[in-house]
Each structure stands twice: as C-alpha cells, then as structure tokens.
C-alpha cells in the first residue's frame, strides 16, 4: 500500500528585529563550571587552535544565508560520518589525543535520520540523500525486528553487538518512538521506503508500551517484558510525535488517541512542578497535533495542552536569561556553554511560534528574540572548515566551564551525532523562521478561541 503525505504546514515567518545583537564570537576561551556565572580567560590547545576556525556572526541580525550555509555544513558532516553500511561515526573528539569510547546509540541514530530527512526535504544535495537512505536501511536491517509472541508488533532493538556494553538486547521507548519518526520522515524524501504495515506495527508496539495514566514504560526486554528501568523524560514526547506523524498518513483514531493521552499526561505532570522539564519534543509534537488533531478534541483539552506549552516556553526563556550577560556564551540556554541543550530548546521554541495565539504576542516576541540569540550562539559554536567542517562539539569551542571534573574535561571537544543533529534541526527551523516576511505572518498565530 502506498503512503501519501500531506505537505508540511507553512511556517509563520517572523519579523526581523532591528535591535542590535553583537557577535558572540571571541577567539580565546573563557573559564569552566557548570552553574556559575564567573568566567576567566582560557587558551585552547595550540594544535586545536591551528586546526579549527569558528563561524563568524558579526552581523547585527541573523541572516538566513548564514543559517543556510551552517545547515549545509552540518548535513555534509553527517553525510561524511555515515559509512557504506549506513552506520554513523557516533562519537569523535576534535582533540586527537583523546580516543572516544566505542559505543553506539540507536535512539540518536534515529534522531539523526529525522534531521537529515528534514534537510533533504529542503535540499537536493545528493550526498546527504544517499547518506539518509543508507542510514535508514541500516536502521531497518539491523534494528527493526519482530517482538516475540506478537506478529503485530515491530520493535527498534538495541543489540549489545551494535551498541556495546553488557546490557541485554532490548527496545528502548525512545528507539521505537524516534525510529517511527525517522522512517516516516524518510517517506517524505523516498516514498515507499518502508511499508505502511511495518510502520503500523511499530506504532502498535508504542501503544502496548503506554501505561493507563498516559505515561509510558521506558524499556522492553524479552525476559522482563515492559520495565521502567532507565527512564528518560524525553521518551513520552518522542512517542507522541511518532504517533501523531503516523496519524497523518494513516488516520486511525488509535494513533491520535494514544498521542493525546501522552500529551495530557505531560501537561498534567508539568502543572504539579515548580519548574518544567525542558521538553522540546512536547512543543514539536504540539505543532503537528494542532495541524491534524485539534478538531477531534474539545477546547478544554486544547487549552490545557497550550497552557503547558506556555509554561515550557517561559521556563526555557528564563534559562537563557541567566547567562545573557556572559559575553562568550550569551544566547546559550545553560550556564556551562553546552550546545545541545541550546539546540533542542531552539527547536521547541521555534515550533511553538507556529501555534501560540495572537493573545500571546508578548511571549511570542520574547521567543523570537531568544531564538535569534540562540542561533547566533550555535553559529559561533560550529567548525567551519577542515576535516571536521560542520561539527558541533559538546561545549562551545574555546569555552571551559568552571569546576569541570577530569572526566568532563575529556569531553570538552567531543562531537556526537546528536549534537550535530539537533543543531541542524534548529538551524533549519531558524532558516524558515527568518526567511520570508508577509504582513499576515507578522500578525502572529490564530486567536486562541480558534484553537
């Protein structure tokens, strides 16, 4: 059976702001510590300084062309990192004296497919497309397999022979969720790559993994069945996104119902917390949910989900403000200068701009300014030439947070595929957001009563 996808919703593209944003780039590093505002000058390793040049961002406003070039570099890095079999070079270190651990992560493999597919929907780059299809083939051949005892289920398995370590063969909820997201995203580039029946089987397994309260079990292994060992707070939002995307191509109510139940659980859980967990997957999912599912539920559900999105956005904005005056990492969302938490928050915040209503005009304006600052931080964090062009390290290169442990010191220049993947997704969303301006798009989202 062939799969037909509806075109992705047009982004409401934001107005360029005329306020001056200074360049975040500085040639020398500043000094290391998670959670501190103090910074001291710190020189980078001489060999690395010779090998790595940072992307400049001296313009007062973000330029769509700069984001496009940065996204191209990131996608080409991921394409080069994908071997002939479709497996990524999961982790490298820009410091050649540090040998990375030989591990692999199926969740992050699938997430990287999601970002590459987003890129390939916008670019005709043949190397990126070829890498996407190799990596998707690797996922299907090495990781997607039946669940014993139920022919209607497919799991996305983490096998010790692939991932390393001594943990048993298991299905992580995140692997199944992002595996579904990834394969559905590949369909938008290469229709028919995965049979619809296989996608349904992955979706059914996600339903099986949901608990009665809307939350999910975190893992499944053949001996213990469903378990909560190794729970990740990101997994439920990832599962909801996969199911909403599946509903887009196979409009069976069970997919939307399970996703909505998960979103309601996350919103209810967040209402009890003093500060929210920065769940960008919730914000991403809600964009898709408002496109395909809002008419299936009453206004009380829509408003409850929207209110949690507002809280998430406000808490993320507060995270960024804490280091707004730290010149070298201004725009970062964490005080230790890490890149990935900034990229993920940018993904979520940019998605929220597509559905926050006109009544939230002040919040929308704050989000736009935060997105611009965050994107400048990411541009300044990317390697722009040499053998690792397009790479994004764990920390902004040249920056050391105060109080690093010796083990974390070894990771300052670590590059992992998910660091690059999330940066790529954030850059693509930012490129859309800053590219086109029309009078209707400047007016904000719909009125809340329309939601």
In order along its 451 residues, the chain shows pLDDT tens digits of 333 333 333 323 332 332 323 232 233 333 333 333 333 223 333 333 223 333 444 334 788 899 999 999 999 999 999 999 999 999 999 999 999 988 999 999 999 999 999 999 999 999 999 999 999 999 999 999 999 889 999 999 999 999 998 889 999 999 999 999 999 999 999 999 999 999 999 999 999 999 999 999 999 999 999 999 888 999 999 999 999 999 999 999 999 999 999 999 999 999 998 899 999 999 999 999 999 988 899 999 999 999 999 999 999 999 999 999 999 999 999 999 999 999 999 999 999 999 999 999 999 999 999 999 999 999 999 999 999 999 999 999 899 998 888 889 999 999 999 999 999 999 999 999 888 543 334 445 554 555 5
Cα 379–382–388 angle (5° rounding)? 155
Two tokens, residue 212: 């009665």
Residue entry with tokens 């051949």:
141
Record the pTM.
Answer: 0.85
What is the model's pLDDT at position 341? 98
Burial category of 211 from C-beta neighbours within 10 Å (exposed 0-12, middle 13-18, buried 19 and up) = middle
What is the model's pLDDT at position 11? 29
Distances (CA, A) of 371 to 230, 266, 268: 32, 24, 27
What is the model's pLDDT at position 123? 96
- Under 8 Å between Cβ of 239 and 274: no
| CA separation for the pair 401, 171 (Å, rounded) | 35
Radius of gyration for the alpha carbons in the chain, expressed in angstroms and rounded: 21
Give the list of residues 6+ apart from residue 146 with CB closer than 8 angstroms, or none. Answer: 153, 154, 155
**Boundaries of every domain in the chain:** 29-450
| CA separation for the pair 133, 71 (Å, rounded) | 19
Give the list of residues 6+ apart from residue 355 with CB closer than 8 angstroms, or none. Answer: 286, 287, 290, 306, 309, 445, 451
For the four alpha carbons of 359, 365, 368 and 373, in that order, the dihedral sign comes to negative
Give the list of residues 6+ apart from residue 296 with CB closer than 8 angstroms, or none. Answer: 253, 256, 260
User: Backbone dihedral region of 118: left (phi > 0), alpha (psi from -120 to 50 degrees) or beta?
Assistant: alpha
- Calculate the CA 321 to chain-centre distance: 21
- Under 8 Å between Cβ of 180 and 246: yes
Give the list of residues 6+ apart from residue 412 with CB closer than 8 angstroms, or none. Answer: 95, 393, 394, 395, 400, 404
- Under 8 Å between Cβ of 313 and 365: no
Angle, helices 106-120 vs 417-433, to 10°: value is 30
| CA separation for the pair 264, 269 (Å, rounded) | 8
| CA separation for the pair 254, 443 (Å, rounded) | 35
Please give the biggest Cα pair distance in the chain.
61
Fold of the domain spanning 29-450:
Glycosyltransferase (1.50.10)
Give the list of residues 6+ apart from residue 286 with CB closer than 8 angstroms, or none. Answer: 263, 305, 306, 309, 351, 352, 355
Residue entry with tokens 């090495």:
142
- Under 8 Å between Cβ of 130 and 83: no
List helix spans (H) across 190-322.
196-208, 235-249, 253-271, 280-292, 299-321
């Amino acid at each position: 059976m062939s799969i037909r996808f509806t075109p992705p919703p047009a982004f409401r593209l934001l107005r360029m702001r005329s306020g001056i944003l200074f360049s975040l780039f500085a040639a020398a590093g500043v000094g290391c510590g998670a959670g501190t505002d103090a910074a001291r000058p710190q020189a980078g390793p001489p060999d690395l300084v010779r090998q790595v040049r940072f992307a400049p961002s001296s313009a007062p406003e973000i330029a769509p062309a700069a984001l496009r070039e940065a996204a191209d570099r990131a996608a080409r890095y991921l394409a080069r990192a994908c071997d002939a079999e479709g497996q990524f070079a999961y982790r490298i270190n820009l410091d050649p004296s540090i040998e990375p651990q030989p591990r692999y992560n199926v969740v992050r493999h699938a997430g990287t497919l999601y970002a590459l597919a987003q890129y390939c929907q916008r670019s005709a780059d043949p190397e990126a497309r070829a890498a996407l299809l190799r990596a998707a083939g690797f996922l299907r051949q090495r990781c997607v397999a039946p669940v014993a005892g139920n022919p209607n289920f497919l799991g996305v398995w983490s096998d010790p022979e692939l991932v390393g370590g001594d943990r048993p063969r298991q299905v992580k909820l995140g692997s199944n969720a992002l595996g579904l997201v990834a394969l559905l995203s590949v369909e938008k580039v290469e229709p028919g790559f995965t049979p619809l029946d296989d996608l349904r089987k992955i979706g059914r397994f996600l339903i099986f993994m949901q608990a009665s309260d809307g939350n999910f079990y975190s893992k499944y292994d053949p001996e213990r069945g469903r378990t909560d060992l190794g729970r990740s707070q990101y997994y439920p939002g990832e599962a909801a996104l996969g199911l909403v995307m599946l509903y887009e191509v196979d409009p069976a109510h069970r997919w939307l119902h399970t996703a909505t139940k998960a979103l309601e659980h996350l919103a209810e859980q967040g209402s009890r917390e003093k500060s929210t967990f920065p769940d960008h997957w919730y914000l991403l999912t809600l964009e898709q949910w408002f496109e395909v599912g809002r008419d299936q539920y009453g206004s009380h559900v829509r408003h409850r989900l929207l209110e949690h999105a507002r809280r998430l956005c406000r808490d993320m904005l507060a995270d960024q403000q804490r280091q707004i005056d730290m010149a070298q990492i201004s725009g970062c969302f964490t005080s230790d200068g890490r890149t990935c938490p900034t990229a993920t928050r940018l993904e979520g915040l940019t998605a929220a701009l597509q559905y926050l209503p006109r009544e939230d005009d002040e919040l929308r304006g704050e989000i736009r300014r935060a997105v611009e600052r965050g994107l400048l931080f990411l541009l300044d964090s990317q390697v722009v030439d040499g053998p690792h062009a397009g790479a994004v390290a764990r920390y902004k290169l040249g920056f050391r947070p105060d109080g690093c442990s010796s083990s974390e010191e070894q990771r300052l220049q670590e590059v992992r595929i998910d660091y690059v993947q999330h940066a790529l997704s954030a850059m693509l969303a930012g490129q859309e957001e800053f590219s086109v301006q029309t009078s209707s798009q400047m007016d904000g989202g719909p009125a809340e009563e329309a939601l």
